[in-house]
Amino acid sequence: MFRNQYDTDVTTWSPAGRLFQVEYAMEAVKQGSAAIGLRSKTHVVLACVNKANSELSSHQKKIFHVADHIGVAIAGLTADGRVLSRYMRSECINYNYTYDSPLPVGRLVVQLADKAQVCTQRSWKRPYGVGLLVGGLDESGAHLYYNCPSGNYFEYQAFAIGSRSQAAKTYLERRFESFKDSSRDDLIKDALIATRETLQGEKLRSSICTIAVVGAGEPFHILDQDTVQKLIDAFEIVAEEDVPAAESGGADDQSAALEEGAPADQGAAPDEGVAPMDI
């Protein structure tokens, strides 16, 4: 993206009908470290990648507690995410004080989207450069929403935002149909595997990821590093056991194909160069 005469403020339209500063804010979300959300009927799991600026510094907090039934994971400018999470926390407290009941997740998301939209309509403001995955549980069940800097919001079964999130989306698209009936532990396992997909070969460790859970009878909380590391070790052992079985199965298929006089990779050719589906 390059500067042009139509991006001096957020209220200037380009001839093509675009608001460039809003697009720049959405690009900031793509440049942030990855955040992932999954939901079943009873639970929502949020995961994020922790990136430190240097080996001497700690990482920025990417998952925030909003209320006992709501949490949020962010990608983009963490300062903007911190301000918006504080706003969400205040709205939950005020609603609970006024009506003596927890704020529905959908209503909070609409209020958050309205707040973001105002910043696209005032020349003295700038859009929030952060995307938020809002997970929560209310009377209508578990919910996972994505709030965009443009003021749009969408509800998802599973979603990923941030840098290299396309690899996680591809994994989630293959598995999302089973998430609805998944157990809590299965959701966490899928969240960890999706997080690993965004690391591009880097080993997944509890020090570079954060996992949070909210569900029926379980208030929103962030899992400690020891628990996360045990879960990582458990699913990697299963993966190692599956690899030799898959290799032996592939060898059997190859030998069978050779016996029939057909090339072993005949069925793989049409799939080459197929791009993963984008959302």
Separation between Cα atoms, residue 132 and residue 88, nearest integer Å: 11
What are the boundaries of each domain within the chain?
21-278
> pLDDT (tens digit, 9 = 90+) per residue, 267-277?
444 444 433 33
19: tokens are 């608001």
Contacts of 25 (CB under 8 A, 6+ apart): 76, 126, 127, 128, 129, 149, 150
Distances (CA, A) of 87 to 21, 81, 82, 144: 23, 10, 9, 19
- For residue 40, the model assigns a pLDDT of 96
Residues 48 and 33: their CA atoms lie apart, in Å, by 7
For 152, list phi and psi in degrees, rounded to 5. Answer: -80, 155
d(CA 147, CA 116): 9
pLDDT surpassing 90 at residue 238? no
Helices (H), 13-135: 20-31, 78-99, 105-118
CA distance 130 to 25: 7
pLDDT the model gives residue 253: 54
According to the model, what pLDDT value does residue 55 have?
Answer: 78
Q: Each residue of 155-208: pLDDT tens digit?
A: 999 999 999 999 999 999 999 999 999 999 999 999 999 999 999 878 899 989
Given a contact cutoff of 8 angstroms between Cβ atoms, the answer to whether 108 and 55 are in contact is no
For 60-106, the pLDDT digits (tens) are 899 999 999 999 999 999 999 999 999 999 999 999 999 999 999 99
Q: How far lies 92's CA from each of 68, 143, 199, in Å?
A: 10, 16, 34
CB atoms within 10 A of CB 157: 16
Average pLDDT over residues 210-220: 95
pTM beyond 0.75, yes or no: yes
**How far apart, in whole angstroms, are the C-alpha atoms of residue 28 and residue 13?**
20
Q: What is the pLDDT of residue 263?
A: 43
Fold of 21-278: Glutamine Phosphoribosylpyrophosphate, subunit 1, domain 1 (3.60.20)
| Mode of pairing for the β-strands spanning 141-147 and 153-155 | antiparallel
